[in-house]
A and B are shown apart, each in its own frame.
Chain A
Amino acid sequence: MAERLISQWISFGSIALATGMAGATVAAANAAETYPSGVVTVVTHSSPGGGSDVFWREMIPHLQPHLGGKLIVQNVTGGSGAKAVATVADATPDGSMFYATTPTYIYTSLLANPTKTYKDLEPLVNLFYDPEVIYTAANSKFSDLKSVIAEAKSGRGKWGAANPASLEREALEEIKAATGANASIVTFEGGGDMLLNVLNGSLDIGVGEVEEIRSQLDAKKLRVLAVIGDNRLDLLPDVPTAKEEGVDVSVVKFRGLAGPKNLPPEVISAWEKAAQELVADPDYKKIYEANNLQPGYIAHDRYVKFIDDFAQKTEGFLKESGVVK
């Protein structure tokens, strides 16, 4: 799903739909029995209609039968996700409230030093990956990633990332470092601005999620040059990965859940079971495949380590480049 498709275009502060907050406190009292017995709130930092919000609201009808209870989405925007993290970190760890994770919360934790960071949350399970791709204008002179790199080595490349300190920026910086290319990386306030500059030829390439550029791809205004991931995409079987093109860079944009620290074991096992069933659900599979999402179930134990590794890598990147101390 196009996480960035909207959420980052929206710079207004925030709205939160507190529907069911009262219910959540009631649920807390009964959680000890059979989980989940009441309302389970999924807090997203995305505003209504934003990437994460649409993703979760679409998923919930399919997840509900596998998990039970009553699932609702609550939007806690503001502070680039810091607010949502704090809300969940302060909640009772009884499985009644979770945070919808994306790499954003790691970046915000590291960049802004908010009072509650990703370290105050316990990763629960991961559900999906959003594949990141490198694309160019349909009429550009570049035929593959190699030609983009070659251009950048002989002269100066112009590459676009949707946001200043983001997974996409990190991917481009890694490509630059891995290939020794000479490229200026231009950052924008969201994918839309960048897309325009790829379309009008200001930029050689842009990097983003497939979902963001789907309409332009269908209209044949853009071409995808490479996937910055470990595997090719089912939707674009002819597009090689960056690794196949000789650039050893791979990033993952994850979508999962995290809760307050000290989640009870029965909550974790209930979610692990439901998450696996959900990813295998044939009805939902049709929907998420159409949305270019890759199933990416990660069990609780491994997810804790996954997030930790991701955060350390990101922190290393930000420190090495001097953005944070």
Chain B
Amino acid sequence: MSDAAITTETATGHSRRTFIKGVIATGAVVSSSSHLFRARSLSASAAVRASMPRMISLNVNGVSRSVDVMPQETLAMTLRYKLGLTGTKLGCDRAECGACTVLIDGVSHYACSLLTNAVRDRSVTSIEGLEGADGTLHPVQQAVIDEGGFQCAFCAPGFIMSMVALTNENPEPTREEAAEALSGNLCRCGDYNKILNSAMRAAEYARRMV
């Protein structure tokens, strides 16, 4: 409707500015609708060709949940957009930055590069699954708060999951071992020193709890 109005306006010889505005508006409409159509055609073709059942049972944070997933869907997509667990971040979506780190059977993985269908029979832990039922924070989360470990903290959920894996596997890490364990996570603020302080304190808190 508004497109037609603008086009008419342009045709009747309005200013150059109005014309450019019109072009921009039309462009926006075209690109957003093409996005909608693309999304629709993709899911439709997946439904026709899926060799796997679409509804699968996924064990996330100790709860078994029924989810509708596409064959090509990654775990990060499922967690964020199907289960609403947006604590798992998508940074690069290319297994480079570590923002999407989750634990699969207690071992750290990049959720952006893992098909959801590949973890059906396994136990997934995301950042939301760390705190206790009564709201007590995980020792790693408490350590990060006490150390003020992050600046913008977009990378924090991934780092925290890697720290949990570290404290589980190596209760008494050296600073160097902690750096190695966190080497699969990137922080664009460059806050590594404070992150390592957090990791060392996390290990200390975890030891105290045992």
Do A and B actually bind?
no
- Chain A contact residues, CB within 8 Å of chain B: none
- Chain B contact residues, CB within 8 Å of chain A: none
